[in-house]
């Protein structure tokens, strides 16, 4: 089994987080996939962003506030 580092983007409301995860690469048809810990990490970040808790989300990666541009 090989591991590949990737950055996943989690978008919720007006926030976006960049979270580093490892993809597990195997020879089966489900490959590549996240570890259980990384899946929970992404869930925690999404839940924190949903609540507006950027401090908690920032523990896992970089957090951005999105600002709409008027047309």
Could you read off the pLDDT of 9-34 as tens digits, one per residue? Answer: 999 999 999 999 999 999 888 889 99
Residue 48 has pLDDT above 90, yes or no: yes
Residue 71 reports pLDDT greater than 80: no
**Domain coordinates in residue numbering, the chain:** 2-65
Question: Locate tokens 């597990």: which residue?
Answer: 24
């Amino acid at each position: 089994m090989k591991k590949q580092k990737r950055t996943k983007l989690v978008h919720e409301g007006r926030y976006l987080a960049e979270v580093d995860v490892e993809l597990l690469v195997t020879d089966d048809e489900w490959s590549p996939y996240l570890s259980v810990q990384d899946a929970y990490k992404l869930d925690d970040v999404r839940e924190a962003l949903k609540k507006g808790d950027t401090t908690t989300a920032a523990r896992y990666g970089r957090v951005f506030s999105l600002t709409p541009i008027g047309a």
